[in-house]
Structure 1
Amino acid sequence: MKNSTQLKRYTEKFNSTLPQKVNILMVDDHPENLLALEAVLSSPDYHLVSATSGQKALKHLINQEFAVILLDVQMPGLNGFETAKLIRAREKTKHTPIIFLTAISQENQHVQLGYEVGGIDYIFKPFQPETLKKKIEKFVEIYQKHKEKIYLNERQHIIELEKKVEERTLELLSTNEKLQQEIAERKKITDHLFVSQERFRKIFESSPNLMAIVSLEDGIYLDVNASWLQFTGYQYNELYNQKMNFEDFMEEANGQVIHLGDPIRNIKIQYKTKNGELRAGLLSSELIDIDPEPCVLFVLTDITERDLLEKGLTRLDRLNLIGEMAAGIAHEIRNPMTTVYGFLQIAKTNEVSKDIIELMLDELNRANSIITEFLNLAKNKVSYKKKHQINSIIEALFPLIQAEALRANKQVVLDLQPCSEIFIDEKEIRQLILNMALNGLDAMTSGGKLTITTFAKEQTVILNIKDQGTGISPEVLEKIGTPFFTTKDNGTGLGLAICYSIAKRHQAEIEIKTGHSGTTFSITFLAD
């Protein structure tokens, strides 16, 4: 048998590796002492190895096995006691007998220390050659008996192993034909499964949809594809074998958490990324088995950009409509207003009631101002932009905003950081800041604080206006900036619509962060 032949070869190799001579290590820093020891212990049965320092002795112990070590106590560098400690610290040499030889360290404390560090004998120089020789012979005899016992045990183990291998080989031969048939059948099944798994793997890894496999039993991620990592912002090792946080996946319609075992078919959800951003998606799930653990395959189609585009187009359509309407209203109203205004100016010089005329002029000026503001929504309005410091504009408006705040027992705080100059229409930006600041004051109760902050970030200048109101509900937030939409009893619904129109003309972005502790309007301008 093949296995039996291998065992016989192993036995022959083991017999050939038995040591022909016994190694004895002699350590002394004086070569003449080593020659003297060699003369005493010279024997065809011994292989005497000399070392002139503790370091060299340790190197010999790494490569060879010794029956006994003769170790001088007084040596430069590592002395005998230190060398013995290192020998005892190694697993391979911790049981090797050590005999200390010394001509100097003969005090009781040195002898005691020699035994404490692992010595089994402590001999003073000059020593009796025959006595030393007899001691070495005894240690060699113990060593050889120990080796012989190891050899016999190993030999017996080989015999028993050979017998077991022979028996097992016969059993394997008797069932070999049956196994070959089963293997062939399993190979067909395995090949089919492999092809199916490869197809699934390619679809899973290359899909533009976010895909994740989650254990049904404990809800941990078993795998996610590249799209899942790209959209959520996580690294693979941050998700793999970690529990899925289902609170990050909420149905948009009712705000309920997605359940692991529920079958899902294209429901619209909001999901949270690593940095806390809320994104929109269509989620489906399917129960699957993987080796053979029951799992859930989640497939998520991200529609955030599509939603933003649809909302943007809706808002743009409304703005375009109101802009066209504003231009038409201005054209139709301003012509008669000009005529009336001119007539009243003439009538003012005659004996007509000046109080009535002044009142009419004031009302006409007010009407003209409202129409001018309304025209700010027009899509073709021209902005006259120059380089300005936004901090200077805010500081100029501060007394007006502060006066309005004090009137309602509220306060305004400025936190203006150094910022680059930006190309803006000063009048329009004054209107944007004033509209948003007054809205923030209106949103707070008595004692509230409005904070206006500016700072530079990379190639942008950012203006934040933060109130301490109760926040904006999702229903209202979705409609903010739409012309004529207002939550105020006497509002026109044009203030924020004008702000969005101004921001668009300045290529600025408005972002809203809201919660129970208040709302922040953040406007980002491109720096020059």
Structure 2
Amino acid sequence: MLSHIQAKLLIVDDLPENLLALEALIKAEDREVYQAGSADQALSLLLEHEFALAILDVQMPGMNGFELAELMRGMEKTKHIPIVFVSAAGREMNYAFKGYESGAVDFLHKPLDTLAVKSKVKVFVELYRQRKALDRQVQALARSQQEQQQLLEQLQVARGELERAVRMRDDFMSIVSHEVRTPLNGLILETQLRKLHLSRDNADAFTLDKMRAMVERDERQINSLIRLIEDMLDVSRIRTGKLSISPSRFNLTQLVGGLVENFAAQAAAVGSVIELEVAGPLEGIWDEFRIEQVIANLLSNALRYGAKRPVQVRVLDDQGMACVEVRDQGIGISPENQRRIFQQFERVDSTHSVAGLGLGLYISEQIVLAHGGRISVSSAEGEGATFRVHLPLVCDVHEQNDESGRSEATSA
């Protein structure tokens, strides 16, 4: 049913009585009839409304019907409106032909045939409605195609993300299996060796000095496993917004100094040394355990990638923010890698030659962001790397956590 589509009809005649008579003849509930007493009035209405049909009187003072039709055909808005001419002149063929040449689709002669007029108007109104309905269907089809295209693009993006997630999962499982296997293999070999000594009643293998060495080796392997598990748990906490942040006031300079002392043996083991430069005490309200976790990760990376050269650590007040700077003189980081090392499971060395899950910098960045701070890196390949952690000296960590949604400022 197309009756819900309202049709507008334009009738143009210089005689008011003709307009009234023609309107009475063609009006209906589903039509709107507009009257114009001249070509100028008709043009104004044509520019304002969309008409299903225009019925023009040929003989009008000023601009006649033929001239008005030619103007209508010359305008984009009105060139497709069907035109029916009405004339009281004789039925000479050349007069009718002139009307058709002006763009008319039909020609009516006065006195008008009531049934013929109603029938012709009905046909044009139905054609208009069919055309409008078809236009709407075409528009709906175009919208549907556009929506389908958008959906297809979304599906392609989702597919790419899913494929990336699968690759990350596979890479993660590969890395985890490798990293977990290393300390486990050490523990298994130590256990088998001890069982062998016990089976042979070899008491010399269990002297006090040898037992101390065994315990130290076991502790290192166990701590490696604990560190791997804690990293994975921290990632889970970050994803669920439950990273524990417990702020308290402490001296950042003192914390970094203690860490440098603790890492001295590790630095010596790899043939390096850590040099510390401080500008004085820097106190703030942060989570001491989490900030220690961040700085320890930076020191471990600096020793791991520092090519056995000295590592410089600075603690300073940088424009109202506490800043810890860790600089190594090792292999450096390319610009491309600098953009991705703070992502999950990403490492400067993508091979298994360097231990770790590639989570340290990701976790560190999330911890720093949860404190309202920032972490950055500047580097060039072969020229070492400098990591900087900036923390606000005055910061309501609870408020920062509420805004970021990354963590909950509660005790673990």
Give TM-score scaled by structure 1 length: 0.31
* Structure with greater Cα Rg: 1
Q: Which protein, 1 or 2, shows the higher relative CO under an 8 Å CA cutoff with sep ≥ 6? A: 2
